[in-house]
């Protein structure tokens, strides 16, 4: 049997990280078994239609490296892959389910259904229309009386199944209601469409969030009534912001695209969310997609809610940035470097190189390099550094020497600057720090900088470096 999994998002206009994780597990599981991963768009709730929302789904999966084998924009043998294009199919199967006794027509008016509201405000349908005769139903249909089709849930008994993560699940049928399968607009509800589609699309493993754990017995009733084989169910634990709150769009911390625009790499996000609810046996953390495919296993999926750990995601992202090649980082960091005051003033490649190993997320870039443009009068006490054995007197002595050494250079690259400053230390019998610390402070007017004197001089260039050293010498002599 070929494994087939599906990701079935509703087009809401944004990709929730929880949805992204479901898609990822569907992808990993299918690929590990040499199977197919299918994308299906669940858009039967027309009131929630959002322009461009489907494109967000395509692009997020693409960016996340989850290439589906079949889907609306890909085609495949089991289409259409958009539920609103499958209306006739659902109606046909709903009618068949009515024939088989698993569902029934309901002609009750909204008012009648409302009148069933109990003291807690809940409406529970009373199976009134289940008892209509064949003739009454036929007559109503001919007269065009609006109707819905409801599921006929047994009044007694227990529905049970084995979930691959949560184990034995049993739900008393009297806790379930005769929910609507086909709405009065002729479109199916999720409760019906998921069953028909998963069956017709040959889905073998249904992977989705725990919110469906206890409604699955309803779906199984339908599989059984149709005589269809039930899929394997794999429900996934929720992703929490903290002990009590779910990660949600409302807190602005759940949208995949927001993370990307903050400067997280899609691969790092995907790697991180893989770990939200699953741990590989060898406890690896940084993994390529291929490694995740190899290591994924259902017994490593946890039942407990996963807590989203921002610090860990940042760390992992930093690891991905460090591992990038310089040119690739130069390119992807461009939009962030553009936000800095320094943009266009210095060699972008040198700046990118300086940053690559010193940030965790790219949104840190502007503040990390803005200081290069904030040069001006500074507190000369910064020349004091106990460990480096320097102070203002030392700076007064060495800065003119640094000035001359740099001024003498024809080529102002990293190696030449490095050699010039270090040989100055050797020749004049200073400690390296006694040259490098004053030079760094003089060049930047800061005592904390990403990179030391050599990197700073290289980025600033010869002319600006000399101007700043001169400025500092004057400041010291004031």
CA–CA separation, 262 vs 339, rounded Å? 12
Residue 208 interacting with ligand GLU (CB under 6 A):
yes
Residue 60 interacting with ligand GLU (CB under 6 A):
no
Residue 16 interacting with ligand GLU (CB under 6 A):
no
Site residue total, ligand GLU (CB under 6 A): 8
Residue 72 interacting with ligand GLU (CB under 6 A):
no
**Smallest distance from ligand GLU to CB 16, Å:** 9
**Smallest distance from ligand GLU to CB 274, Å:** 18
Residue 458 interacting with ligand GLU (CB under 6 A):
no
Say if CB 431 and CB 385 are below 8 A apart: no
CA–CA separation, 465 vs 417, rounded Å? 11
Residue 197 interacting with ligand GLU (CB under 6 A):
no
Residue 9 interacting with ligand GLU (CB under 6 A):
yes
Interface characters, 406-445, with ligand GLU (x: CB under 6 A): ----------------------------------------
Residue 8 interacting with ligand GLU (CB under 6 A):
yes
In this structure, the chain runs to a length of 478
**Smallest distance from ligand GLU to CB 175, Å:** 20
Closest CA to 393 of 472, 476, 281: 476
Beta bridge partners of 171: 159
- Among 194, 255, 434, 444, contact with ligand GLU (rule: CB under 6 A): 194
Residue 21 interacting with ligand GLU (CB under 6 A):
no
Please identify, using beta-carbon distances, which residue of 16 and 440 lies nearer to ligand GLU: 16
**Smallest distance from ligand GLU to CB 456, Å:** 51
Please identify, using beta-carbon distances, which residue of 59 and 392 lies nearer to ligand GLU: 59
Residue 15 interacting with ligand GLU (CB under 6 A):
no
Please identify, using beta-carbon distances, which residue of 68 and 264 lies nearer to ligand GLU: 68
Stretch that binds ligand GLU, among 3-11, 91-99, 177-185, 318-326 (CB under 6 A): 3-11
Helix (H, G, I), strand (E, B) or coil at 116: coil
CA–CA separation, 32 vs 294, rounded Å? 6
Closest CA to 60 of 27, 26, 17: 17
Residue with the CB atom nearest ligand GLU in the bound state: 208
Residue 263 interacting with ligand GLU (CB under 6 A):
no
Say if CB 122 and CB 140 are below 8 A apart: no
Closest CA to 270 of 52, 103, 65: 65
Q: Which two tokens stand for residue 202?
A: 């040959």
Please identify, using beta-carbon distances, which residue of 23 and 424 lies nearer to ligand GLU: 23
Say if CB 218 and CB 151 are below 8 A apart: yes
**Smallest distance from ligand GLU to CB 237, Å:** 15
Q: Is 249 noted as a catalytic residue in this protein?
A: yes
Residue with the two structure tokens 């020349």:
383
Say if CB 390 and CB 425 are below 8 A apart: no
CA–CA separation, 205 vs 80, rounded Å? 20
**Residue 222 CB contacts under 8 Å (≥ 6 apart), including other chains:** 97, 102, 151, 192, 195
**Residue 406 CB contacts under 8 Å (≥ 6 apart), including other chains:** 412, 417, 420, 457, 462, 465, 466, 469
**Smallest distance from ligand GLU to CB 41, Å:** 9
Please identify, using beta-carbon distances, which residue of 212 and 471 lies nearer to ligand GLU: 212
Say if CB 270 and CB 20 are below 8 A apart: yes
CA–CA separation, 144 vs 164, rounded Å? 45
Residue of 74, 246, 249, 462 marked catalytic: 249
CA–CA separation, 19 vs 255, rounded Å? 10
Please identify, using beta-carbon distances, which residue of 59 and 191 lies nearer to ligand GLU: 191
CA–CA separation, 165 vs 105, rounded Å? 36
Please identify, using beta-carbon distances, which residue of 8 and 213 lies nearer to ligand GLU: 8
**Smallest distance from ligand GLU to CB 374, Å:** 48
Residue 42 interacting with ligand GLU (CB under 6 A):
yes
Residues making contact with ligand GLU (CB under 6 A): 8-10, 42, 190, 194, 208, 212
């Amino acid at each position: 049997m070929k494994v087939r999994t599906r990701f079935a998002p509703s087009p809401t206009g944004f990709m929730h990280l929880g949805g992204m994780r479901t898609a990822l597990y569907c992808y990993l599981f299918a690929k590990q078994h040499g199977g197919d991963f299918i994308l299906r768009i669940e858009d039967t709730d027309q009131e929630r239609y959002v322009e461009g929302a489907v494109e967000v789904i395509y692009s997020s999966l693409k960016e996340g490296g989850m290439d589906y084998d079949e889907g609306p924009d890909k085609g495949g043998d089991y289409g259409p892959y958009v539920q609103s294009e499958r209306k006739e199919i659902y109606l046909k199967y709903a009618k068949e389910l009515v024939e088989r006794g698993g569902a029934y027509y309901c002609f009750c008016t909204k008012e009648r259904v409302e009148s069933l509201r109990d003291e807690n405000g809940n409406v529970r349908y009373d199976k009134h229309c289940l008892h209509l005769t064949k003739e009454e139903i036929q007559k109503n249909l001919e007269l065009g009386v609006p109707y819905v089709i409801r599921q006929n849930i047994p009044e007694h008994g227990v529905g049970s199944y084995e979930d691959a993560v949560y184990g034995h699940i049993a739900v008393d049928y009297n806790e379930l209601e005769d929910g609507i399968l086909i709405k009065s607009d002729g479109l199916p509800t999720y409760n019906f469409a998921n069953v028909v589609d998963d069956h017709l699309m040959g889905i073998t493993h249904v992977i989705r969030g725990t919110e469906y754990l206890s409604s699955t017995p309803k779906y199984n009733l339908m599989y059984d009534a149709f005589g269809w084989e039930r899929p394997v169910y794999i429900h996934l634990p929720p992703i929490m912001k903290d002990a009590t709150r779910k990660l949600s769009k409302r807190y602005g911390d759940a949208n995949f695209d927001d993370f990307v625009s903050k400067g997280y790499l899609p691969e790092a996000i995907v790697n991180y969310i893989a770990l939200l609810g699953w741990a590989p046996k060898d406890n690896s953390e940084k993994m390529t997609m291929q490694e995740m495919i190899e290591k994924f296993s259902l017994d490593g999926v946890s039942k407990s809610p996963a807590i989203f750990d921002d610090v860990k995601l940042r760390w992992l992202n930093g690891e991905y940035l460090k591992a990038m090649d310089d040119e690739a980082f130069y390119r992807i960091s461009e939009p962030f470097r553009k936000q800095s005051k320094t943009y266009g003033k210095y060699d972008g490649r040198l700046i990118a190189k300086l940053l690559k190993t010193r940030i965790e997320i790219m949104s840190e870039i502007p503040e990390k390099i803005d200081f290069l443009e904030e040069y001006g009068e500074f507190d000369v006490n910064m020349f004091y550094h106990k460990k480096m054995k320097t102070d203002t007197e030392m700076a007064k002595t060495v800065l003119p020497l640094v000035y001359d050494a740099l001024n003498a250079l024809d080529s102002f690259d990293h190696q030449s600057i490095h050699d010039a400053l270090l040989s100055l230390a050797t020749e004049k019998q200073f400690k390296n720090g006694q040259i490098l610390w004053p030079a760094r402070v003089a060049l930047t007017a800061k005592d904390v900088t990403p990179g030391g004197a050599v990197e700073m001089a290289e980025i600033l260039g010869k002319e600006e470096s000399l101007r700043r050293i001169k400025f500092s010498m004057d400041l010291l002599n004031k």
